[in-house]
């Protein structure tokens, strides 16, 4: 396939006018076929990679149902999100095991929709004071044997785990998780600078939804944010739905960490793509009004977003983040953070041909190509 007429994303150069070729499922130097896709008036960007979201269209990853996970994968692909690492909640081990088994079975079945590349265990290894919308009844101190059991149930599909580093056993847990090939993220924590820095130096390389569920960036105790900045290579997530983080803080985070490190996430809930109302969430109930979701009866407690990652990309641009930087934060950086950058996240020759055509004025989706197959135009 020849994709012609578009402004094509490049990791180093931003956007340039050039043709893009696919050969089967991969991006190639040329194409022997005659199929052409007109991208005139469009940006051509890699398919998005969401490493932290919970659900959409009435379904939640933590329900651990094959049908629900399939609906999630189908909807996310329709939104230009081509690779998924959905997050489980703080739940009992038996339910987390079912989540892991469902993930492994879905990957083996390969039944279409966006690719579920793995699972993110956002809980249960968190602190009670910053549990946010997580269910405190199921919090658990960091537990290496438990993580191994869950990784076995997932058949190696656990890619990311969040931990509060002040909890007992955290440093041992971080080192063990890294040895297992799992990316460790610091989050839902009251850790100060020294504790957070020790966690990053032990091998944690990710920060869960920066600013949210952690101490603020204070001048005498810069906390997780300062520690993440000081340790090269740590990549912070940011929920850019226009609710969780003010636009000024979004701009500041990009300036502080640089485009090479920022990761945009949606943290989206089952209410994404659904009408306002009440929805179950991790053993609790949430209520949704517009693009704001809170714990039922606790309007001050945000419970995640109801915005897709593509919506977060557009929101970042509206906040003044250059489009190329926002695209990188939704594609290459998250792919790199979970170890799939060798096949996803850029439009380089040899990568999988998963890409999105965005109208240049509105950034609305004109077309999606997933692994060389045109999904919609």
Catalytic residue positions, numbered = 267
Residues 6+ apart with CB under 8 A from 110: none
Backbone angles phi, psi at 81, to 5 degrees: -95, 110
Residue 25 neighbours by CB distance under 10 Å: 14
Interatomic CA distance for residues 288 and 88, integer angstroms: 20
Interatomic CA distance for residues 80 and 310, integer angstroms: 7
Measured in whole angstroms, the distance separating CA 187 from the mean position of its chain's CA atoms is 14
Measured in whole angstroms, the distance separating CA 131 from the mean position of its chain's CA atoms is 19
CA distances to 115, 271, 311, 374 from 80, in Å: 12, 18, 10, 12
Residues 6+ apart with CB under 8 A from 49: 81, 82, 83, 84, 85, 330, 331, 334, 335, 338, 340, 344, 345
Q: Which burial class, exposed, middle or buried, applies to 179 when counting CB atoms under 10 A from its CB (0-12, 13-18, 19+)?
A: exposed
Sheet holding 7-10, edge to edge: 14-17, 7-10, 42-46, 355-359, 365-370, 373-376
| DSSP-assigned states of every residue in 79-131 | TTEEEE--EE-S--HHHHHHHHHHHHHHHHH--SSSEE--EEE--SS--GGG-
| DSSP-assigned states of every residue in 27-86 | EES--SS--EEE-TTEEEEEPEEESS--EETTEEGGG--HHHHHHHHHHHHHTTEEEE--
Interatomic CA distance for residues 68 and 239, integer angstroms: 23
């Amino acid at each position: 396939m020849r994709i012609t007429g578009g402004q094509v994303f490049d990791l180093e150069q931003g956007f340039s006018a050039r043709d893009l070729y696919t050969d089967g499922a991969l991006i190639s130097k040329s194409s022997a076929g005659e199929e052409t896709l007109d991208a005139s008036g469009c940006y051509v960007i890699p398919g998005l990679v969401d490493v932290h979201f919970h659900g959409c269209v009435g379904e939640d990853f933590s329900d651990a149902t094959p049908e629900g996970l399939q609906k999630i994968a189908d909807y996310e692909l329709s939104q230009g999100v081509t690779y998924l690492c959905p997050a489980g909640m703080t739940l009992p081990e038996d339910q987390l095991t079912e989540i892991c088994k469902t993930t492994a079975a879905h990957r083996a079945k390969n039944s279409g929709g966006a690719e579920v590349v793995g699972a993110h265990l956002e809980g249960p290894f968190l602190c009670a004071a910053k549990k946010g919308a997580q269910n405190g009844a199921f919090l658990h101190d960091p537990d290496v044997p438990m993580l191994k059991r869950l990784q076995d149930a997932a058949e190696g599909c656990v890619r990311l785990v969040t931990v509060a580093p002040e909890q007992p056993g955290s440093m041992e847990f971080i080192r063990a998780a890294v040895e297992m090939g799992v990316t460790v993220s610091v989050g839902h924590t009251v850790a100060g600078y020294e504790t957070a820095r020790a966690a990053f130096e032990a091998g944690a390389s990710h920060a869960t939804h920066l600013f949210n569920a952690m101490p603020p960036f204070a001048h005498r105790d810069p906390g997780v944010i300062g520690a993440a900045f000081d340790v090269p290579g740590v990549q912070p997530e940011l929920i850019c739905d226009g609710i969780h983080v003010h636009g000024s803080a979004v701009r500041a985070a990009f300036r502080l960490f640089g485009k090479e490190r920022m990761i945009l996430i949606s943290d989206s809930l089952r209410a994404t793509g659904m009408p306002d109302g009440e929805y179950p969430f991790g053993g609790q109930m949430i209520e949704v009004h517009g693009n704001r979701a809170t714990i039922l009866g606790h309007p001050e407690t945000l419970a995640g977003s109801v915005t897709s990652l593509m919506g977060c990309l557009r929101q970042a641009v509206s906040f003044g983040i250059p489009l190329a930087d926002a695209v990188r934060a939704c594609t290459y950086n998250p792919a790199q953070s979970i170890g799939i950058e060798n096949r996803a996240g850029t439009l380089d020759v040899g990568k999988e041909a998963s890409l999105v055509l965005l109208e240049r004025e509105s950034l609305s989706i004109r077309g999606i190509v997933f692994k060389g197959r045109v999904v919609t135009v």
